[in-house]
Structure 1
Amino acid sequence: MKWFKKKIDEEVQTAEAGPMEDDVFEKELEHLMSEEHGKKKKKKLFKKKWSKKKKIIVGSVAAVLFLFIAFNSAAGGKSAVMPVTVTPLKKGEVTETLSVSGPVQGTDSVEVVSNLHAEILDLPVKEGDKVEKGQLLATLDDKDAKKEVDIAQNAYDLAVSTYKDKQLEAENGYAKAKQDYETAKANYNRTLALYQGGSATQVELEGVTNTMNDAAREITTYTLKDGKPVANESYTLQIEKEAFELQQKKEALENTKVISPISGTVVRVNCKVGRFADKTDDDKPMFIINNLDVLEMKINVSEYSIGKVKVGQPVEIGADILNGDTVKGEVTAISPTGEEKGGGSTERVIPTTIRIIDQNSKLIAGITAKAKIELQKAEDVWVVPISALIQNPDGSMAVASVVNNTVKYIPVKTGVESDIEVEIIPEDESALSEGLQLIEAPSSMISDGMAVHVLPSQS
Structure 2
Amino acid sequence: MTDGITGGITDEGIRESEEIDRRVEELMAPEEDDGNGRKKKKRKKKREAGEKKTGLIKRIKGWSRRRKILTAAGVVVIALLAGSKLGGGGKSPGIMVDVMPLAKQAIQEKLSLSGPVSGTDSVDVVSNIHAEIVTMNVKEGDQVKKDQVLAVLDSTDLEREVQIAQNAYDLAVNNKQEKDKEAALGYEKAVQDFQKASLDHSRNSQLFASGDISQMEMEASANALNDARRAMEGYTVENGRGRADKSYDIQIENARFDLEKKKEELENTQIKSTIDGTVVRVNSKVGQFADKVEDDKPIFSIENLEQLELEIKVSEFSIGKVKVGQEAVISADILDGGTVNGEVIKISPTGEEKGGGSTERVIPTTIRVDGQDTKLIAGITAKAELLIREAEDAFVVPTTALLDEGDTTYILIVQDMKIKRIPVTLGVDGDVSVEVIPADDTVLEEGMQVVMNPGPHLMDGTDVIVRPQ
User: TM-score, with normalisation over the residues of structure 1?
Assistant: 0.70
- Measure, in 2, the Cα distance between the counterparts of 1:282 and 1:443: 56
Kept after mapping to 1: 8 A contact 2:175/2:248? yes
Q: 1:215 aligns with which of 224, 228, 237?
A: 228
Aligned position for 1:29: none
| Alpha carbons of structure 1 residues 190 and 409: separation in structure 2 relative to 1, 3 Å | closer
Matched, 1:339 2:353: yes
Give 1:185's aligned amino acid.
S
1:235: Cα distance to partner?
Answer: 0.6
Aligned position for 1:89: 103
Q: Deviations over 1:242-274 (max 9, x none)?
A: 011111011111111111122222111112123
- Measure, in 1, the Cα distance between the counterparts of 2:118 and 2:444: 49
| Alpha carbons of structure 1 residues 383 and 227: separation in structure 2 relative to 1, 3 Å | farther
Aligned position for 1:109: 122
Aligned position for 1:355: 367
- Measure, in 1, the Cα distance between the counterparts of 2:156 and 2:319: 56
1:114: Cα distance to partner?
Answer: 1.1
Aligned position for 2:391: 379
Question: What SS does the corresponding residue of 1:431 show, helix, strand or coil?
Answer: coil
Give 2:104's aligned amino acid.
K
- Measure, in 1, the Cα distance between the counterparts of 2:220 and 2:337: 109
- Measure, in 1, the Cα distance between the counterparts of 2:212 and 2:94: 155
1:107: Cα distance to partner?
Answer: 3.1
Question: What SS does the corresponding residue of 2:436 show, helix, strand or coil?
Answer: strand
Aligned position for 1:127: 140
Q: Deviations over 1:399-455 (max 9, x none)?
A: 64889x99987664321111232212245789345xx22436546689879898897
Question: What SS does the corresponding residue of 1:329 show, helix, strand or coil?
Answer: strand
Q: Which structure has the higher relative contact order (CA within 8 Å, separation 6+)? A: 1
Give 2:294's aligned amino acid.
D
Q: 2:196 aligns with which of 167, 180, 183?
A: 183
Between the two proteins, the alignment pairs up a number of residues equal to 378
Matched, 1:437 2:447: yes
- Measure, in 2, the Cα distance between the counterparts of 1:313 and 1:129: 34
Give 1:439's aligned amino acid.
Q
Give 2:365's aligned amino acid.
T
Aligned position for 2:310: 297
| Alpha carbons of structure 1 residues 182 and 431: separation in structure 2 relative to 1, 3 Å | same
Give 1:423's aligned amino acid.
E
- Measure, in 2, the Cα distance between the counterparts of 1:432 and 1:421: 17
Q: Deviations over 1:250-307 (max 9, x none)?
A: 1111111111122222111112123222222333211112232332333344455455
* 1:8-407 mapped onto 2 (5 Å cutoff): 87=101, 89-92=103-106, 94-225=107-238, 227-306=240-319, 308-331=321-344, 332-334=346-348, 336-342=350-356, 345-360=357-372, 361-374=374-387, 376-386=388-398, 389=401, 391=403, 395-398=408-411, 400=413
Q: 1:422 aligns with which of 424, 434, 443?
A: 434
| Alpha carbons of structure 1 residues 185 and 334: separation in structure 2 relative to 1, 3 Å | closer
Question: What SS does the corresponding residue of 1:133 show, helix, strand or coil?
Answer: coil
Query: Structure 2 regions of 5+ residues with no counterpart?
Result: 1-65, 68-72, 78-92
Question: What SS does the corresponding residue of 1:277 show, helix, strand or coil?
Answer: coil
Query: Structure 1 regions of 5+ residues with no counterpart?
Result: 1-32, 35-64, 70-78
- Measure, in 1, the Cα distance between the counterparts of 2:402 and 2:230: 105
- Measure, in 2, the Cα distance between the counterparts of 1:81 and 1:187: 131
Kept after mapping to 1: 8 A contact 2:397/2:436? no
Question: What SS does the corresponding residue of 1:363 show, helix, strand or coil?
Answer: coil
Kept after mapping to 2: 8 A contact 1:329/1:354? no
- Measure, in 2, the Cα distance between the counterparts of 1:393 and 1:222: 92
Kept after mapping to 2: 8 A contact 1:398/1:413? no
1:135: Cα distance to partner?
Answer: 1.7
Kept after mapping to 2: 8 A contact 1:411/1:427? yes
| Alpha carbons of structure 1 residues 176 and 353: separation in structure 2 relative to 1, 3 Å | same
Question: What SS does the corresponding residue of 2:182 show, helix, strand or coil?
Answer: helix
| Alpha carbons of structure 1 residues 319 and 441: separation in structure 2 relative to 1, 3 Å | farther
| Alpha carbons of structure 1 residues 363 and 192: separation in structure 2 relative to 1, 3 Å | same
| Alpha carbons of structure 1 residues 402 and 206: separation in structure 2 relative to 1, 3 Å | closer
Overall identity of the aligned pairs, in %:
44
- Measure, in 2, the Cα distance between the counterparts of 1:308 and 1:178: 81
- Measure, in 2, the Cα distance between the counterparts of 1:191 and 1:386: 118
- Measure, in 2, the Cα distance between the counterparts of 1:206 and 1:443: 118
Q: CA RMSD in A?
A: 3.8
| Alpha carbons of structure 1 residues 294 and 440: separation in structure 2 relative to 1, 3 Å | farther
1:170: Cα distance to partner?
Answer: 0.8
Q: Deviations over 1:94-120 (max 9, x none)?
A: 222233222222233322111212222
| Alpha carbons of structure 1 residues 450 and 255: separation in structure 2 relative to 1, 3 Å | same
Q: Deviations over 1:122-168 (max 9, x none)?
A: 22111122222222111222222222111111111111111011111
Question: What SS does the corresponding residue of 1:247 show, helix, strand or coil?
Answer: helix
| Alpha carbons of structure 1 residues 86 and 247: separation in structure 2 relative to 1, 3 Å | same
| Alpha carbons of structure 1 residues 213 and 454: separation in structure 2 relative to 1, 3 Å | closer
Kept after mapping to 2: 8 A contact 1:84/1:439? no
